[in-house]
Structure 1
Amino acid sequence: MFQHSRLTEFLLGLFAATSILAPSAAHALGGDGDKVVARVVTFGGACEKCDLSGRRMSGAQILGANFSGAALVGSDMRSVRVLGANFSGADLSRADLTDSEMIGSNFSNANLSNARLRGVQARGVAFSSAIMVKADLRDTEAQGANFSRADLSSAQFNDTSLQGAVLSRVDGRGASFRDAALQGANLSSGRFDRAIFVDASMDGAVLNGGQFDGADFRDASLHRAALFGADLSGARNLDQDQINHACSDASTRLPKGLVPRTCRGVTPHWSPKAPPAPPAPPAPPRP
């Protein structure tokens, strides 16, 4: 495996080289040199706590690499393939990961505030305890992803696939889940004050013990959703028909005029397909 210094020097040299290609060379490669060269780059190894902030990495493949604690603030990582890589504790604030693939990777405790992750493939990815304030995850595929204890305040999950995802104990205040697919997702003990669930599919989701003051549930589907111990007393646009299709009891706090509905049997859960196994990291070059 690459040593820290060797991989860092390699990456810095690579990204510097792609930024100084002559116009003729870029034209010969079929377009902008930064993007074309980066698309064919594949690397693994260790780059712990290295600083790649603001670097152009679009189209690169990162296989089994260790970027824990690394700084990638504002980096261009569009269409990057991140497979089985470790970005735990990394700073990716304001990074652009639009249309990237990050299957089987670890972003726990990472800073992804104001990051752009629109259209990302993130099935089964670990985002536990990550800081994702105002992150853009619209149109993302995140089935079975783990966001437990993450800060998702004011993040955007519109049209995002979150079936079977874990969002327990998150700070989701002001987050938008408009038209999101949350079937079987676990939102237990989360703070979702002022969150938007308009037109969201929440069938079989677990909202037990969650706080939803000012959350908007207009036209959200709650069939067999578990609401035990949830505080929905200040929720907006929640009607009796939605409650009749959900599962609640005396521990559920509902808006004035609504009454809980007891369910019998086990609440069904949507089981996502297991994410693919992370690929083995590439072999280091011979000295």
Structure 2
Amino acid sequence: MARWGASIVALTLSLMAVSGQAQASVEDRDVAKLTSFGGMCANCDLAGRKLMNAKFANANFVRAILIGADLRGAMFYGSNFASADLSRADLRGAEMRGANFVAANFTDARMSGVEGSGVSLQSAVLIRVDLTSSEMHGSQFVGANLQKARFSNAELTGSNLQGANARDADFSNADINHANLTGGHFESASFRNADMTGSILRGGIFSGADFRNADLTMAVLTGADLSSARGLEQEQLDDACGDGARLPAGLTVRPCNGLKSSHFLLLREMPKAPPAPPAPPAPPAPKAPKAKW
């Protein structure tokens, strides 16, 4: 029998075949048929439950236990899962929009193909999480534990990984442009073929990290430790800047000239203006009047 907090009264549910909402007891075990969760379910235990394609809309699941739950294709819209335990959960193909997973535990979770934006994973534990081919634009990973996480082919545009622990993480072929990696630990991480255009690596530690064929155009490397990074070439660094960056022997990077990183990012080449529309066709010439005989 599931354990539920004494303060829980009910869980708002809607059934797949019913257009309206229905009330169900918090002890209802037939959760596989449910498509929508709302209301409050803090501290509730849904470990191992089948919740495929479930929709969590403005729901409160703080500290909920979802260990090993089947959440494939689930939708998380504006819901609060702070400090929830989703370790070993299957979230492949899930959708996350503005959801709060602060300090949540995703250890060994399967999250490939997740589509998210504005997701808060601050201080979350994502050790060995599989986020390959995921889309996590503008998401917060501040202070998160990403050790050995897999982000290959993921899209992390505009995401914040400040202070994250991403040792041995795999970012190969990932899109990490305009992301913030300030002060993070990325020892032995792989950035092979990653797009890091306009990203901030200020003060980060990248000992043993692999940057082979990574795009560092307009990246800010100020104070970053890249002294033992692998695969770095001068051609990559020529498009970046970095005051006081520690680099492998023989490589240099131009200073940022005191510009703030946000100002430096504005210097990236702007797309060319679209060509002017073609002139409208000339009106047809008036026909000459027929000669009268």
What TM-score do the two structures reach when normalised by structure 2? 0.81
Question: For the residues of structure 2 that align with 1:10 and 1:105, how far apart are their CA atoms?
Answer: 25
Structure showing greater Rg: 2
Give the 3-state SS of the residue equivalent to 1:43 in structure 2: strand
Question: For the residues of structure 2 that align with 1:17 and 1:103, how far apart are their CA atoms?
Answer: 26
Give, in angstroms, the shift of residue 11 of structure 1.
Answer: 5.1
Question: For the residues of structure 2 that align with 1:79 and 1:175, how far apart are their CA atoms?
Answer: 25
Structure 2 residue identity aligned to 1:128: Q
How far does the alpha carbon of each residue in 1:42-100 deviate from its partner, in whole angstroms, 9 at most, with x for none? 12011111111000000111111100111100000000111010000000000011111
Looking at secondary structure, tell me which structure has more helix per residue.
Answer: 1
Of the structure 1 ranges 258-267 and 195-204, higher mean CA displacement relative to structure 2 is found in 258-267
Q: Check conservation: 1:12, 1:52, Cα contact below 8 A.
A: no
Alignment of 1:1-287 (within 5 A): 4-7=8-11, 10=25, 12-13=27-28, 16-17=29-30, 34=32, 37-38=33-34, 41-249=35-243, 251-263=244-256, 266-268=263-265
Question: For the residues of structure 2 that align with 1:147 and 1:11, how far apart are their CA atoms?
Answer: 32
Question: For the residues of structure 1 that align with 2:155 and 2:75, how far apart are their CA atoms?
Answer: 19
Classify 1:54/1:12 alpha carbon distance in 2 versus 1 (closer, same or farther; 3 Å). farther
Q: Check conservation: 1:167, 1:186, Cα contact below 8 A.
A: yes
User: Identity of paired residues, percent?
Assistant: 43
Contiguous gaps of at least 5 residues in structure 1: 19-33, 271-287
Which stretches of structure 1, 4 residues or longer, exceed 4 Å deviation after superposition?
A: none
Looking at secondary structure, tell me which structure has more strand per residue.
Answer: 2
Give, in angstroms, the shift of residue 122 of structure 1.
Answer: 1.3
Q: Check conservation: 2:9, 2:26, Cα contact below 8 A.
A: no
Question: For the residues of structure 1 that align with 2:186 and 2:27, how far apart are their CA atoms?
Answer: 41
Give the 3-state SS of the residue equivalent to 2:136 in structure 1: coil
Q: Check conservation: 1:224, 1:247, Cα contact below 8 A.
A: yes
Which one scores higher on RCO, CA 8 angstroms, separation ≥ 6?
1
Backbone CA RMSD of aligned residues: 1.6
Give, in angstroms, the shift of residue 113 of structure 1.
Answer: 0.8
Give, in angstroms, the shift of residue 117 of structure 1.
Answer: 1.0
